Amino acid sequence: MFEADAEESGDPRPIEADLARQRAQLTCLVSELRRRGRELIDVGLQVRRHALAVAATFLAVGAIAAGSIALGVRRARRHNTLTARSRRLREAVGRVIDRPERVAAEPTVTQRILGSAGSAAAAVLVKATLDRMLRSGQKR
């Protein structure tokens, strides 16, 4: 609207005034955005503004942690009672009676290979340890 008037009259002042007004408005918007950004990352301010929510969150997390610990302790105590142990023994004996072939089953090929490799590694470690001990005893 101002451009058409300025073109007709040849006067740039209305355009300059419009630009100055828009520049001032943009400056206000940028200042507001900066202020809001600083407030957003100010943790202390956010905690003060939302103190009830922060307190409720910490309380809930604490209650969940305490409940988890209490549940774990309760399960551990129940697991170690004489009744629970006898029940587990009864179930194990029942499994042995149902499938006796699985009690003393032959190891698979993979299990045999792993067992042999483990034995060989243990023998090498024991031999190396004994050699070091004997060498250090001879040097003295």
pLDDT-based confidence at 20, cuts 50/70/90?
Answer: very high
Q: Is a pLDDT exceeding 90 seen at residue 123?
A: yes
pLDDT tens digits, one per residue of 63-76:
999 999 999 999 99
pLDDT for 22 equals: 97
- Please give the average per-residue pLDDT across 9-38, as a whole number: 94
Q: Which residues contact 2 (CB under 8 A, 6 or more apart)?
A: 14, 15, 18
Mean pLDDT of 111-129: 96
pLDDT over 90, % of the chain: 74
Residue 107: pLDDT band (50, 70, 90) is: confident
* Residue ranges per structural domain of the chain: 1-41, 50-105, 107-140
Confidence check: pLDDT of 59 > 80: yes
Residue 100's pLDDT is 82
Contacts of 45 (CB under 8 A, 6+ apart): 39
Q: What is the chain's mean pLDDT, rounded?
A: 90
Q: How confident is the model at residue 109 (pLDDT cuts 50, 70, 90)?
A: very high
